[in-house]
Structure 1
Amino acid sequence: MSVAGPSAPAFTTDAAGTWHRVHPVSPLVRGWVAVVAVAYIFGRNAFDSFVAGDWEDEGGVSAGAPLPIIGAIIGAAVVVFGLVFFLSWRFTRYQVTDTSVHINSGVVFRQQRQARIDRVQAIDVVQPLVARAFGLAELKFEVADGGKSVMRLAFLKLGEAKRLRAAILARAAGVDMDPLAPGEVQEAPETPVLALRPGRIVGAAFLSGTTAGALIVAAGLGVAVGISGEPAILFGAFPIILGFAAGYWKTITTDYNFRLAVSVDGVRLHYGMLETRSQTIPPGRVQAVGISQGPIWRMAGWYRVQVNVAGYGADTTDSGSRSVILPVGTLDEVMTVLGLVFPDPGVDDPFAVFTAGLRGRGTGHGFVPAPRQARWLDPLAWRRNAYRATDTALLCRRGAVVRLLQLVPHERTQSLGLRQGPLMARLGLASFALHSTPGPIRPLVKHMSVANALALFAEQAKRAATARRMHAREQWLEPAQAAQQNEEVKRGD
């Protein structure tokens, strides 16, 4: 994050009485779908009646709505939707101060929302297809106490959205402002780290569980046609085929043109074909990391990396894509990503330790495995089930068919738990659960010996308490002296 220079446009944070509106074209960008839906419903009926010649029945009485009436209905719908979206735009205002973001909205029911900037967890700049045509973008950001997006501004000019993101991240980071230009910041430059080729994105989509499901369905249809002798069964399966095609299309268009970069304000992700997204995760905001590899991807040596970020929660509105920081990558690329979101692994040879977590079995590289009696409950994966505590994080390894490695920084541990069913108690086993913020990563060490589970529970509680005291700073670029003063003020309170 840097102070704006004379050659770059800057975003100036607002005084208490200064408010802004979103772009005037926003109602059109948001409302065109509703207008098209109304036009399609009435237009289709009118077209069908026109083609079938059903405008009048045999007695000469009108049997269908004439075109003028259809046009009037569509026109009225356009006016109504236009008025609703105009009022929504007219009553939506936002303000960004040095400490908070405020959004006021609502026509009948007024809504006032406020978020502390120092609690910002991640920021997205989203451009749907229609918004891209107008050069607009939606700004979404998460705060630590939200289970879903708590702030959305739609739509702003793309440059304005980027400058607004820079302003929020600057305040969240604790950047010192220039006394001669208070409040002025510009977007920090980024350094590209990796980019995924389109061929790999397409290949990963087809070498996935979707393809396995499609093959099973195809085999079932083939058997059904062969037994019944009715090829018409294939026509009945058309919705299923369309569903698989939509799944492939969604995966490819979401991950297409995936690029990862790093800057002083965090890890930046860029991806999307029709709807593009620029996502920023500030340093230290990742609560847990999960690396997975399915059996088909194992042949290609590919992995998928996901994260838990406070504020994202279990929100599935974007098909979980916002929690993915590497949709498909090689082992070297996985290690590169881990180096960005998990810069201090707490071991001397992180590559060897993480590789053992992804591919290893048994006790190699300090992992504590499940005991032999666990084979009765987990015959395929009991040798894989293990954990290792480093100086900075807990590593949880499990899974034989789908390999999983989950990492949780000690300071991000929310709570701990032990689970034991009647059969596990009979075998002297217990499972250890480490609770992070809500998200796709649910750290778990399965079927440990009771002694190891109790020891891990006690040791991890101590490590988490110590790490939280050492990593209390929320503003990652705050000067050390100011950070110390803030800590003294907190202790005084």
Structure 2
Amino acid sequence: MTKTSEDVWHRVHPISPMVRGWLAILAVLFVFGRDRVEGIFTGDVQDIPSEAIWWIVGAGSATVLIIALIFYLSWRFTRYQVTAEHVKVNSGVLFRQQRQARLDRVQAIDLGQPLLARIFGLAELKFEVADAGESAVKLSFLKLQDARRLRATILSRASGDESPESPDQPEEAERPILKLTAGRVLGATLLSGATVFLILLAAIAVTLSVVFEQPLVITGLLPVLIGIAASYWTMFSNSFNFRVSVLEDGIRLRYGLLDTRTQTIPPGRVQAVGVMQSPLWRLTGWYKVSLNVAGYGGAAGGESGGRSTLLPVGTRQEVMELLALVLPDPGTEDPMGLFHAGLEGKNDDGGFTTSPRRVRWISPLTWRRNGFVVTRTALVARSGAFWRYLAVVPHERTQSMALERGPLSRRFHAMDLVLHTTPGPVALRVRQMDNRTAVELFDLQSARAAEARKHSIGDRWRERPASRDDAARSEEDPHD
């Protein structure tokens, strides 16, 4: 019987286990060579008996062989398969694991190159699926060109493209639209919120030293300073060489200093958008744009935070250009005016409904900023005085809502409306609205979300409209 392309299983690159397990190799070298290296630096190099040398060599060789066997078995029992409907990965030696992702549920595809993988010309593919919470499928590692071709194949099949495929066909051409310079990334890092926190920490430390007449003890602040330094490094390394391109299969992001990553977010996969401006960034007119994408999870820091960033630092014009990509229909005739009012406006600028005047007693700095506006396609909320924040959620992406109020809010007859989408760094909260306004918004937004989901586009963005219409008719009349 002749095998079809969907019956064929493939293996990752043979040196993939070594790229993943290089820390284990370093640990072995550390265990067997630590004393000798320390002796060289301290001048206390002791002669080792010949019998002991043979034992060390034998133990080291056995350890290397065991690690090599583990690497081989790990590679030998890891296979993957790409069909017209699924991506499947089987792995594990003693404990077998089978993972499968439906192509029509693929939310984003990441192509990552850790430093060691870059040296060997390898890449890792991650396929994010809706509501997975983590990568549903991870292929570590493939040749870079193979990984790119596989990414193109999966995107093509996930889109519903019915054109014949060619295994040697190159990837779709990209149109670059944005690239951050190293100078801007460095400046944004130095003017980030970590610097604001560092200034406040220094002011508090100096004040306490004057009040208690005690000199500053830097060692007591060392853990905090290490955390701030780590924050600086994370932001700089994740934003370095940041580039944005567009193609028919969505938006492509590239970034990274030591470990590089390429993300592809297909059309219609963005669940929510957030724009933030820190206090020091107001001096330069910079903003940060974050996304909620199904499958990326809710962590706002580390790797998930970097992967949920559409623009780490950009001007207002650049922000508007990218918002036009992820929100092609903001549902208003004046999107520039709407987002300007959301980022810098107060009171009823741009048609925003804001907190009642009585709330100024509990929010003296933000009550003029807190507000919302409803467009034809999305709910937009703004908040914050020092850290300005704007959140946008399309109506069809609304998953649930809640009304919340604490003791002070009850006293002043106000409440918050919280809108839930997929987990991510973007959180839409309409703060401290009048009770009647909040309840009315809750009821109307529920109806808008239900209606919008009826008319939302399908998951397969290249599928012929006629095919969708036929599918819809078949669901309505199964006997037709």
With structure 2 as the length reference, what TM-score do the two structures score? 0.92
**Which residue is equivalent to 1:282?**
266
- Counterpart of 1:32 (choices 22, 25, 30) is 22
Write out per-residue CA displacement over residues 432-451 of structure 1, whole angstroms, 9 at most, x where no aligned residue: 11111111111100110111
2:80 and 2:218 map into 1 onto residues whose CA distance is 53
Compared with structure 1, are the counterparts of its residues 385 and 396 closer, same or farther at alpha carbon in structure 2 (3 Å cutoff)?
same
Alignment check: 8 A CA contact 1:91 1:107 kept:
yes
Compared with structure 1, are the counterparts of its residues 238 and 54 closer, same or farther at alpha carbon in structure 2 (3 Å cutoff)?
farther
**Which residue is equivalent to 2:151?**
165
Answer yes or no: is 1:104 the counterpart of 2:90. Answer: yes
> How far 1:236 sits from its partner (Å)?
6.7
> How far 1:277 sits from its partner (Å)?
0.7
Write out per-residue CA displacement over residues 245-304 of structure 1, whole angstroms, 9 at most, x where no aligned residue: 333222212110000010000000011111111100001000000001111111111100
**Which residue is equivalent to 1:152?**
138
- Counterpart of 1:19 (choices 9, 18, 29) is 9
**Which residue is equivalent to 1:462?**
447
**Which residue is equivalent to 1:314?**
298
2:30 and 2:203 map into 1 onto residues whose CA distance is 37
Fraction of identical pairs, as percent: 48
Answer yes or no: is 1:53 the counterpart of 2:38. Answer: no
Alignment check: 8 A CA contact 1:98 1:183 kept:
no
State the one-letter code of the partner of 1:91.
F
State the one-letter code of the partner of 2:8.
T
1:21 and 1:171 map into 2 onto residues whose CA distance is 21
**Which residue is equivalent to 1:473?**
458
Write out per-residue CA displacement over residues 202-235 of structure 1, whole angstroms, 9 at most, x where no aligned residue: 011111122233344555666788888879x546
Write out per-residue CA displacement over residues 317-368 of structure 1, whole angstroms, 9 at most, x where no aligned residue: 5151000010001111110110000000111110011110010001112111
Compared with structure 1, are the counterparts of its residues 224 and 390 closer, same or farther at alpha carbon in structure 2 (3 Å cutoff)?
closer
**Which residue is equivalent to 1:10?**
none
Q: Which runs of 5+ in 1 are unaligned?
A: 1-12
State the one-letter code of the partner of 1:40.
F
Compared with structure 1, are the counterparts of its residues 424 and 127 closer, same or farther at alpha carbon in structure 2 (3 Å cutoff)?
same
Compared with structure 1, are the counterparts of its residues 39 and 217 closer, same or farther at alpha carbon in structure 2 (3 Å cutoff)?
farther
1:376 and 1:74 map into 2 onto residues whose CA distance is 71
Answer yes or no: is 1:135 the counterpart of 2:121. Answer: yes
> How far 1:375 sits from its partner (Å)?
1.3
**Which residue is equivalent to 1:5?**
none
**Which residue is equivalent to 1:327?**
312
State the one-letter code of the partner of 1:338.
L
Answer yes or no: is 1:123 the counterpart of 2:109. Answer: yes
Alignment check: 8 A CA contact 1:118 1:173 kept:
yes
Q: How do residues 262-411 of structure 1 correspond to structure 2 at under 5 angstroms?
A: 262-315=246-299, 316=301, 318=303, 320-411=305-396
Compared with structure 1, are the counterparts of its residues 234 and 45 closer, same or farther at alpha carbon in structure 2 (3 Å cutoff)?
farther
Write out per-residue CA displacement over residues 11-41 of structure 1, whole angstroms, 9 at most, x where no aligned residue: xx97332100001111221111221133224
Alignment check: 8 A CA contact 2:100 2:136 kept:
no
> How far 1:239 sits from its partner (Å)?
5.5
State the one-letter code of the partner of 2:66.
V
Write out per-residue CA displacement over residues 396-435 of structure 1, whole angstroms, 9 at most, x where no aligned residue: 1111111110000011110111112333223211111111
State the one-letter code of the partner of 1:284.
G
Which 10-residue stretch deviates more, 207-216 or 140-149? 207-216
> How far 1:186 sits from its partner (Å)?
4.2
With structure 1 as the length reference, what TM-score do the two structures score? 0.89
Runs of 4+ with >6 A deviation:
220-231
> How far 1:49 sits from its partner (Å)?
4.5
Alignment check: 8 A CA contact 2:290 2:311 kept:
yes
Alignment check: 8 A CA contact 1:369 1:384 kept:
yes
1:313 and 1:236 map into 2 onto residues whose CA distance is 35
State the one-letter code of the partner of 2:157.
R
1:158 and 1:52 map into 2 onto residues whose CA distance is 46
Write out per-residue CA displacement over residues 159-187 of structure 1, whole angstroms, 9 at most, x where no aligned residue: 11111111111111111123xx5788642
Secondary structure, in 3 states, of the residue corresponding to 2:110?
strand
> How far 1:55 sits from its partner (Å)?
4.0
State the one-letter code of the partner of 1:418.
L
CA RMSD of aligned residues (A): 2.6
Secondary structure, in 3 states, of the residue corresponding to 2:244?
strand
1:378 and 1:451 map into 2 onto residues whose CA distance is 19
Q: Which runs of 5+ in 2 are unaligned?
A: none
Compared with structure 1, are the counterparts of its residues 95 and 422 closer, same or farther at alpha carbon in structure 2 (3 Å cutoff)?
same
Alignment check: 8 A CA contact 1:27 1:82 kept:
no
What is the count of residue pairs matched by the alignment? 472
Compared with structure 1, are the counterparts of its residues 154 and 209 closer, same or farther at alpha carbon in structure 2 (3 Å cutoff)?
same
Secondary structure, in 3 states, of the residue corresponding to 1:248?
helix
Which 10-residue stretch deviates more, 92-101 or 374-383? 374-383
**Which residue is equivalent to 1:251?**
235
Compared with structure 1, are the counterparts of its residues 40 and 240 closer, same or farther at alpha carbon in structure 2 (3 Å cutoff)?
farther
Alignment check: 8 A CA contact 1:166 1:185 kept:
no
Which 10-residue stretch deviates more, 153-162 or 214-223? 214-223
Alignment check: 8 A CA contact 2:255 2:261 kept:
yes
**Which residue is equivalent to 2:418?**
433
Compared with structure 1, are the counterparts of its residues 49 and 239 closer, same or farther at alpha carbon in structure 2 (3 Å cutoff)?
farther
Compared with structure 1, are the counterparts of its residues 105 and 491 closer, same or farther at alpha carbon in structure 2 (3 Å cutoff)?
farther
Alignment check: 8 A CA contact 1:177 1:184 kept:
no
Which 10-residue stretch deviates more, 432-441 or 40-49? 40-49
Compared with structure 1, are the counterparts of its residues 238 and 428 closer, same or farther at alpha carbon in structure 2 (3 Å cutoff)?
closer
Alignment check: 8 A CA contact 2:296 2:304 kept:
no
Alignment check: 8 A CA contact 2:297 2:304 kept:
no
Alignment check: 8 A CA contact 1:418 1:433 kept:
yes
2:19 and 2:345 map into 1 onto residues whose CA distance is 51
Which 10-residue stretch deviates more, 299-308 or 71-80? 71-80
> How far 1:191 sits from its partner (Å)?
0.4
